[in-house]
Structure 1
Amino acid sequence: MNISDFIEKNDIAILAKADLGNQRFDIIKKDVELESYDLFEQLILFNSVENLMKSLSGQLLPRIWTQGNTKCVICQPNDEQIVALFYDNCMDAKDNYFYAKQLDSQLKELF
């Protein structure tokens, strides 16, 4: 499976990959609208890789943020990258947690 297959299979609207070496985000946006772009703007667009790393320090991963039906799952598939996944769904917190763990596992295999 490649990144495009992963995005399609899991209905991910935006995948943002942070390279910890060069401190840059690579963003892949699928032609799907999110209910809200606030999480994406706050965590990625108007932020830096360094600040995102600081906010994750000491946190258990994958880290999940929600705003309405829009979800963000942040995973660290390896020591050089962090990946943020943005998608909409109506899962409750428990189901979304297990879904996030599944996404994290798939990313570790992919990267």
Structure 2
Amino acid sequence: MTLLEIENIMRKNNIIYSVVTNLDNGLVETIGNTKDLIEDDLVTQLFGDFTKIKALNDSLEGQIMPQIWSQGVVRCIVCKPNSNIIIGLLYNENRSPLESIDFIEEINDVLLKNW
């Protein structure tokens, strides 16, 4: 999946910012602007440097995917479409809890299907 394809998913789903990390080569690519998030601390906490990204990866071991992190109304969907790839998709949430669960599962399915 290319960054352009991820950007299209973001645009269709009002996702503000994404981080795509490759654990094998340390490449971290971003799309969007964190200033459009109501709070941007999740970006730093989860993806601030490669040590934090490795810690995030370790925390995902054995977990049901995708995983969700929240800070106020900001959500981060964390997906692992491949063993060496972590994707974080951040947005300002305005859905009900049930709508949010459906949305998160749909986004994860699209990423897995197209990876």
TM-score (norm 1): 0.87
> CA separation in 2, counterparts of 1:41 and 1:109?
28
Q: Deviations over 1:44-91 (max 9, x none)?
A: 124533111112122211001111210000011122311110001222
Residue type matched to 1:24 in 2? L
- Identity, in percent, stands at 27
Structure 1 residues not aligned, in runs of 5+: none
Number of residue-to-residue matches in the alignment: 111
Aligned to 1:8: 11
SS at match of 1:58: coil
Moved over 4 A (4+): none
TM-score by length of 2: 0.84
* 1:1-111 alignment, distance < 5 Å: 2-30=5-33, 33-46=36-49, 47-111=51-115
> Greater CA deviation, 47-56 or 68-77?
47-56
What are the ranges of 5 or more consecutive residues in structure 2 without an aligned counterpart? none
